[in-house]
Amino acid sequence: MDITYTSNLETEIWNMAEELDESEDFSKVIDFLNSKEGFQPFGKRLAEFIDKKFDLGSTDRKTVVQALNEACEKNGVGLSEIASDGTLRNWFDKDKRPKKGEDSRFSMFALAFALRLSVEETKDLFHKIFLDRAFNYRNEKEVIYYFCLKNNKTWADAKRMIAEVENMTIDTSDHTQLTNVIVDNINAMSDENILLEYIRENGHNFEKNSVTAKEKFSYYLEQAKKLAKEEVNAIRKDEEDMLVDEYGNEKRGKKSYSGKWINSFSNNFLYEIITGVGVEGDKGTKTVFKNATLPKEIKQRFPEAITFGKEDMKSEEYRKVIVLLFSYCFWYKVQYLSIDFDYDDYIGELDHILFSCYFSKLYPGNPFDWLFLFCSQDDCPLAVFRGILSEVLPDE
C-alpha cells in the first residue's frame, strides 16, 4: 500500500480531533469513517497492490484481472482458487469484500502464490488489504504456506505438502512449544521433508490455538471488570440524588448501578459500562450494530457482549476483543485517574500485546483500528468513544 494513504489517514485523526475540539460534534468523524474518500474499499486497495507489484500503470478492473490471470497461468494457480469472475467483479466494481473465514484466507494465500509474493509482501497483503493477520503458526496449512513462500516454492508444492500432512499419522503426545519457538524452528528449515517430520512429531502444538491471546483476553477481561466497578461506584456516588426520590426509594425507569446487579457483574453489564450501549437479547447474542451507521469493517465484527463469555474464538475475534478491553483499561486511567499516558503510549503498549499474540499491529487503514486510534488522542477517550457509538446507533 502507498505510504501516503496510511499517512493521510493518520493525519485525519488529528484534523478530526481539532474539529471535535471546536464543535463537540461527532457527525464529521462518523461521516469520515463511512467515506470512500477516506477509507479505500477492498477492491481499490487490492487493485493498487497488484498495480504496484506489476507496474501496470492502471487500476482498471480489466487491466488488473488480465494481469492476475496471466500471473495465475505462469505460476500454476487456478484463478478460480482466488475468486470467480463474479466475485472479482464484486471486489473491483461493487466495493464488496471477502467475508472473513478459512475460505477467504485460502483465496488470499492462493493470490500470494500467484503474485509470487515474499513473506513480507504476503504480510502486507493480509494486514493492509485483507485486514487480518497473515500467518497462523498454530495451523499446519499456514505453516506450510509460510515455509513455501519463504523458500520460493510453488502453490503446487504447498498443496502437495498439505495433502501429505493430511494423510500422515500425527503424534499428539509432544510437549507444548511457544509460538516464537515454532517460528524460529521453521525459519531454520529449508528441506520440506524436515518440515513435514516436524509437523508430524509436534502435532499437539498445531492443535493448540491462540494460547497467548486467550491469556491476554482473560487478563484484560478481569482488569476491565475491576475498573468498571470503580467507575460504577463513582457514577453511583455522583448521581445518587438522581436515582432516588425524596423518600430514598429507587426511581422507576432509572437504571441503578447498585445492589444485586453490580455484585453479580454480568458480561452484559460490563459491556454496557464499556460501550455505553444497551445489550439486546438475554445473553447479549443479538447484535446491536446491525443497522449502525458504520462501515462494515466495524459493525460486522465489533465485539458483542456474548464475546466476553466465549472460551474459544477465531483470531480476528480475539484481536478485536483484546483491543476493546485494553482500550477501556487504558482510557479509564487517562480519563479518571489522570495518569500521564499519551497517544504514542497507547499505540506502543497495544502493539506490543498484539505482536505477542502474533496479531497484526494497529493500522490506520483499518476503520476499526482508526476508530480506537482516534479516541485515544483525546483527554477524555471514553467519553468520545461512547459518544460516537451513541450517535451511530438508530433511535429505538
Q: Stretch 179-196: mean pLDDT, rounded?
A: 93
> At CB < 8 A and 24+ separation, what contacts does 222-228 make?
223/325, 223/329, 224/270, 224/274, 224/325, 224/328, 224/329, 225/265, 225/270, 227/328, 227/329, 227/332, 227/333, 228/265, 228/269, 228/270, 228/273, 228/274, 228/328
Stretch among 171-180, 188-197, 212-221 having the lowest mean pLDDT: 171-180
Q: Give 1's pLDDT tier (boundaries 50, 70, 90).
A: low
| pLDDT at position 56 | 94
| SS3 at position 280 | strand
Q: Give 379's pLDDT tier (boundaries 50, 70, 90).
A: very high
| pLDDT at position 285 | 53
Over residues 286-312, the pLDDT tens digits come to 667 777 888 888 988 899 999 999 888
* Beta bridge partners of residue 280, listed in sequence order: 286
Residue scoring higher pLDDT (154 or 269): 154
Over residues 50-59, the pLDDT tens digits come to 999 999 999 9
Q: Give 248's pLDDT tier (boundaries 50, 70, 90).
A: very low
List the grid coordinates of 15: 484534523
Distances (CA, A) of 8 to 11, 373, 374: 5, 14, 13
Q: Stretch 129-144: mean pLDDT, rounded?
A: 92
Q: Stretch 254-268: mean pLDDT, rounded?
A: 56
Over residues 5-60, the pLDDT tens digits come to 888 899 999 998 988 877 778 989 999 998 877 888 999 999 999 999 999 999 99
Residue 388 has pLDDT above 70, yes or no: yes
Distances (CA, A) of 137 to 17, 109, 166, 205: 38, 14, 17, 9
Q: Give 64's pLDDT tier (boundaries 50, 70, 90).
A: very high
| pLDDT at position 236 | 64
Percent of the chain with pLDDT over 70: 88
| pLDDT at position 348 | 96
| pLDDT at position 146 | 97
464543535: which residue's cell?
23
Residue scoring higher pLDDT (251 or 306): 306
Q: Stretch 337-353: mean pLDDT, rounded?
A: 93
Buried b (16+ CB within 10 A) or exposed e, 294-316: bbebbbbbbbbbbbbeeeebebb
Give DSSP secondary structure letters for 239-279.
Answer: THHHHB-TTSPBPTTPPP--HHHHHH--HHHHHHHHH----
Q: Stretch 77-87: mean pLDDT, rounded?
A: 95
| pLDDT at position 177 | 83
Percent of the chain with pLDDT over 90: 59
| pLDDT at position 252 | 40
Residue 135 has pLDDT above 90, yes or no: yes
Q: Angle at the Cα of 181 (from 177 to 183), degrees rounded to 5?
A: 120
Q: Give 100's pLDDT tier (boundaries 50, 70, 90).
A: confident
Residue scoring higher pLDDT (103 or 176): 103
Query: Rounded to an integer, what distance in angstroms lies between the CA atom of residue 396 and that of residue 388?
Result: 16
Work out whether the CA dihedral 232, 233, 239, 244 comes out positive or negative: positive
| pLDDT at position 35 | 85
Q: Stretch 192-205: mean pLDDT, rounded?
A: 90
Q: Stretch 144-153: mean pLDDT, rounded?
A: 97
Q: Stretch 72-96: mean pLDDT, rounded?
A: 94
Residue 331 has pLDDT above 90, yes or no: yes
| pLDDT at position 142 | 95
